[in-house]
Every structure is written in structure tokens, then in C-alpha cells.
Amino acid sequence: MPMAAELPLNEMVLPPLDVHWVWHCHCLNHVHYLNYCNSRFGKLIDSPAIFDEENAECATERCREIWELKYPAEPFDLESSCSSKADVERGSSDICNMVEKCRSLSGLFSDAFLPETVYLVAAKSRYLDFLQLLKQCGKEGDCSLRLVPTADIHFIWLTHQSFPVGYAKDTKEIGEVTQKIAGFFAASATAEEVEETNRLWEVYNEPYERAGMVIDPMAAISRKIFNWELIAPMEDVNRVYKGLHARFLMEVCVFLRGEIQTRENTEQHFLRLRILRCHRSLKLDKSILNLRSFGKWQKTWHLFCEFGTKGVSIESRYSTTGCSFIRQTKLIDAANFTWHELARATNLIMVKSVGSMQGMVSATPPVQAPYLLKCVPDRVTDDGGAMVCDVVLRERAFRPQEGRWLTRTVLNHAGRECFVVRTRVGKGIWRRGAETPNPVKWEERIIELREGNWTYIGGSSMGYAPEKVIGTATPQRSHPNDKKVIWSLSTGDCLTIMWENELQICLENETSKETASLLEGRQLQYQPNQNHISQNSPKDEDGDYFFTLYRPSSYKQEGKAMALINFKLLAMEFSPQEDAAVIILMCMALVRTLSEIRREDLAGLLVRQRVQEMQVGLNDWGSVLLPSTTCMHLQPWYLNASEVLVSTEKTNSTGASLKYAAAEGKEELYRQAILS
């Protein structure tokens, strides 16, 4: 600080990281920083404001030169072994306390959508309105209660304080701001202060708390939904797969106010929220009886939607006949709110009229969410990837198809084909009454993954798997009686499964030597709430079929959960930082080994018939989440996986009563490949 005080105003210097961090923390308590600077230097010292990477590098080198001239005995870069013998300055204990408290700042502002530009623009606009409220309160002389900032306002306020000179100039007319705000370094806000802040904000004709902008972000339901780490677009390793489209999730709040004035009985009137795309079956109804007496904005629905849902529609309807379960309704008016319009709207809110009422939709910017994939049964294929069927035989002039592979089609969250995964089970050909495919050796039962979708023949459901092979998994073991199997993945990873005393699963990359573990059950952020288990799933049978991919972290003591696999349903949720090919191959290798250990077809691998899925767009997997509902399909899938995923299949998944063509091979061929 003494060095900075002696520098001319136009001197560009950037201190070392440790000094910069302490300086930044000190600036966040503006009153203490102002008093410190005035008492020590007689003026307010501004912090460096350099945002260009090239200029930052030059400013750091310039600071190093000045530092070495002024403090030759003190190293510029912090060394863990160095210790200063200088006397502790008066008041430095207060600075240390502030630095210690700032350790929790990252938790307060860790929402995935916070760095988005549109969110920051809206936050800045709301912060300026917040300052105007403070100024107005000062003029009226009513400062008995502090104002409580929402997370977005709080973030911009702290950022504003990090530039002390500009902050002092901007807030000069307001007076002592810190005493008027229940901020980070102040005592906790009271319920009365929260209520008063909401009341004062009504002057702006919009709700104070809305999507992504709440007073207590640590307790917000969005933290349970956005439970993954923020990543940059370039960190998504799955961008190389053209058929695998990223998911983007956003928080949405719907507010209503006003009255419906009609001649008919208002008890028959209600409002309905619908999704424009991906979840067309969703209908959320709300009676207007609870809204007629409200002149203020009332939060009516709070949900989380994929960006692919396009938007929401608020409908005003009138019930003509029937009961509450089966009734005929008449549409009076409707208003559509699309995400593209909302992203361009001021403060990320949009207001439209719905009859004589008003509807407001608030949303956060969409952020990339984990991928969702599931494997569904399909027909047996030959060595070349063609389905074993008469259609292919006729196209090939009845030339026999060689080899037999158990095949699964991998669908994304929207039910679209993106991969085909196959397990080799037999070799040879089939001729009526003459030849039949024979089992391959254990070490030849490889798993193969192909990228793309099926190529169908003449509009039929028969066809060829994509040609591009992107990965394989080969089993290895030293002795048939060993309780250890190693799967060598062509991606350079090695999956080791041991079950001598207890089940242990480890994933290691041969190049980077990075290791990860597969932990049984739903761990870390995937762990279900005990209240949910006791209410909806007393036995929690789904938990027995999950594995969590766990990786150690240098900055998280508890580590990171990078993927969740349900091996019974062959369903996967994984971070964009994890390779989809590795996750799919690992899932299939895992279920193959566990089925062999338990001598049981755990995942219905014996099913060799295409499964008909629900119509795309009717109820897409994970497209809408409504945490407050008891409907299982509107909650995170891993809480009720068997209900959310299996119920979409319209055919028998056990394979017990299904009949298969003789050309596919005998039933024993597939049982031997899976269970032994």
C-alpha cells in the first residue's frame, strides 16, 4: 500500500496474486478501507483496474521492477517458506478477519448462470435501481431499517466497492451506504427488513425476488437443481460428436396479477401453464380464486426448463362441463413467452396480458447441463453392423449374415439416436437346418461403440448401424476363477472391477495416470433427500442400481461426482467434461461383469427386440423439472428412475415371452455370453 500511494495516477501496476487478493478483500469493506487510507496516506488509494490480458502482463512486470527496487529483501512472488520479520501493523488483524470471511464469497456467488453477460447487465440495472431506493430513503429520512440486497445486486455492489475511488464518488450523495444495507460484512437481515425491501421495490412495478435473483442463494432450490460445476464451452469434450447435442437448463418463475372480470361464475375460471415444446403433455392449472384479490405480483409457478422447450404459454380457460379430472374447457385467451424474446428483454423479464390479467415470466440465462443418455434394446446385428433380418438378406441377394452382436441404441434426452453400442456374442452364419452361429471365446466378447444413427432400408425399421467406430472395450483376466476383470478401453482408459471381499471399481487413464472410482449408490450431489425417500420410495430400491463416478479434486475436499450410472436401466447422466464414449463403454462393461458375477440378467440384455418409446416431444426426459410437485416425472430422474424411464417403454422388457427369429441364433448363445 505505501508503494501504491507513492505512484503517479497514470502508473499501471498489478501486484502479485496474494497482495491483490488481500487488497480486494480490504476494498469490500469500504468504510474500513477509507479510514485506513486516510489515516495512513491522507488520501483514498484506488485499486488497479486492468482488464486486458496483455496489459496485465506488462503491469505485473512493471510492479515487479518497482517492488524489487523498493523492497529488495522481500520476494515479489509469495513463497511458502518465507516469513517476514516486520512488525504487525496496527489494524492488520481487522484486515485478516476480512480476508478470512471472504473465503465464503465463492459459495455465495457460485451459481452457474452468474457469469453470463445478459445476467450481469440485468444485475447492473437492478443495482442502479437499488441505489436510487437508498437515495430516496435518505431524502425521506426513514433509515430505521436496512435494505436487503438480492444475490445479483449484492454481487454488483461488491464489485463496485472493489474500485474505491469510483465507488466513493458514485455514492457521495447517498451518504454512508454500508449502514443502510444488510450486506456481506453486516449482521444478518431480519424478516422485517426483508419485507420492507420488498415493499419499497414495488415502486418499480416488478417483483423483487425472481429467477436467479434471490436474497439467500445458499438456500435457493436452484442450488439443488444446478448442482454441477460451471464449465467453459471449450471444456466440453463431447463437441466432437456431431449427433450429441448439449443440454441447456434455465430457471423460470411465472408471476400473475390482476382480476378476471366476466359474467360467468369465476369458480369455473382457471389459468393453465403449458410448455411450447418437448413436454406438450404438461398442464399446470391454477384457480383464479386465489388471485382475484391480489393487486401485487404473485409467484404462481417455479420450474426449470431446457432451452429446447422454446418457451411457455399462459392460458386463460373456462371449464364448461365435467369434473376436475375429466372436463371440457374453453380457451378464452393465451400469451406465449419464448426464451429468445426473454433473452433480449430488459432485466430478463417479460410482461404480457392474458385476458384482463397480466402474466410476467422471469428466467435465468441458459447454462450447459449434464448430458442424459440411455440405451434401449434393438435387434441383433452381424459383424458389419446390419440387422439380422429378411429385409437385409433380400437386399444382399440372400447371402448369409456372418457374426452375431447384441445391440443397443443410445438415445439422448430428447429420444434421438446418437450412438449404437454392440457386444459380440457369436461367430459363423445361420442356414436353415444346417448351420447356426457359435459362441465366441470370453476374451473375444468385446464391446463396440459407433457414432451416429441407423440407416434404414426403404422406410422400414430395419437397417444398418453407423459405420464410424469410436471406441471398444476388451475384457481381460489372468485366470477364469479370478475375482478380477480388467476392461481395456480404446480411449486409453482401463476399468478394473474386483469382488474378492467387496466390490471395488477403479477407472484409470493410461496416459495421464488420472484415477477415478465408481462408488455404489447415489453419492454427493446425487444423494436423495431423506424426506423424499420416506415419502415416495420407502425401500429406495432404485438406489441399489446406481454407481457414481467419483474423481478427487484439488479444491474440493469431498471430491467431485462427474457421472451417475443406473446399470439396470442403462441410463447415464454425466458432466460435459467426461467423454461420452468412456461413459457408455464403462456402463456396458459394468453391467456385463455384474451380470456374470450374479448369474442374472440385470439389465434385460437378453431382450433382442426394438422397444417403442413414447412420442418425441410429448414428455421428453428431463425437459421440465418442478421440484415442488409430487409428480415423479417432474423431479430429477435419479430420484425415481424406474418410474421415469421404464414407464416410457411400451413393450415387455424382460424378454421372457418374446419370440425371436431362428436366424439370430439360439437362446443359449446369448445366455452364455451374458451370464458366464
Average pLDDT by stretches of 10, the chain with 676 residues: 82 86 89 89 86 81 88 81 46 76 84 92 95 81 80 94 91 82 82 91 92 92 86 86 92 86 64 92 84 76 95 90 67 94 90 90 95 94 93 88 94 93 93 81 95 92 94 90 92 93 92 89 84 47 84 79 94 95 97 94 90 76 87 87 68 57 88 89
619 is written with which cell numbers? 414428455
Could you identify the residue written with the cell 521492477? 65
Q: Which pLDDT does position 540 carry in this prediction?
A: 55
pTM: 0.89
Three-state DSSP at 156 gives helix
d(CA 252, CA 423): 42
pLDDT at residue number 84: 47
User: Which of 382, 374, 336, 415 is CA-nearest to residue 623?
Assistant: 415
Q: How far from chain centre, in Å, is Cα 462?
A: 36
Rounded CA separation 72/486 (Å): 57
Res 263: pLDDT: 44
Domain positions in the chain are 2-78+89-108, 117-219, 233-369, 371-472+559-613+649-675
Locate all alpha helices (DSSP H) within 522-613, ordered by sequence. 530-536, 580-598
Question: What is the spatial distance between Cα 550 and Cα 574, in angstroms, rounded to a whole number?
Answer: 11
Place of cell 427386440: 609
Q: Note the pLDDT of residue 324.
A: 52
Q: Quote the CA–CA distance of 423 and 66 in Å, as a whole number.
A: 66
Q: How far is CA 623 from CA 512, 619, 634, 642, 643, in A?
A: 36, 8, 9, 17, 16
pLDDT of 139 reads 67
Cα-to-chain-centroid distance, residue 48: 35
Contact yes or no for 484/497 (Cβ under 8 A): yes
**In 3D, which of 264, 259, 320 has the Cα closest to residue 290?**
259
Amino acid at 419: F
| DSSP code string of 379-428 | --B-TTSBBSSHHHHHHTTTPPPP-EEEEEEEEETTS-EEEEEEEEEEES
Looking at residue 466, its amino acid is P
Produce one character per residue of 570-590: b if its CB has 16 or more CB atoms within 10 Å, e if not: bbbbbbbbbbbbbbbbbbbbb
d(CA 498, CA 519): 13
How far is residue 127's CA from residue 646's CA, in Å, rounded to a whole number?
A: 48
How would you write 36-75 as a 3-class SS string?
HHHHHHCCCCCCCCCCCHHHHHHHHHHHHHHHHHHCCCCC
Q: Which three cell numbers stand for residue 440?
A: 465366441
CB 449 within 8 A of CB 434: no
DSSP 305-346: EEGGG-EEEEEEEEEEEE-SSSEEEEEEEEEEEEHHHHHHSG
Per-residue cell: 260: 378476471
Compute CA distances 139 → 132, 133, 135, 147, whole Å: 11, 10, 6, 15
| CA 159 – CA 439 distance, rounded (Å) | 67
Residue 660: partners with Cβ closer than 8 Å, 6 or more residues away: 380, 608, 609, 667
**What confidence score (pLDDT) does residue 535 get?**
45
- Bridge-based pairing of strands 298-306 and 447-451 is unpaired
pLDDT at 103: 82
Burial of 385 (0-12, 13-18, 19+ CB in 10 A): buried
Environment class of 360 (CB within 10 Å of its CB; exposed 0-12, middle 13-18, buried 19+) = buried
3-class SS of residue 131: helix
Instruction: Give the residue from 482, 483, 489 showing the smallest Cα distance to 507.
Output: 489
Residue closest to 553 by CA, chosen among 92, 216, 229: 229
Which among 580, 574, 575, 491 is positioned nearest to 243, based on CA atoms? 580
pLDDT for 498: 94
Instruction: Please give the pLDDT value at position 143.
Output: 62
The class that CATH gives domain 233-369 is mainly beta
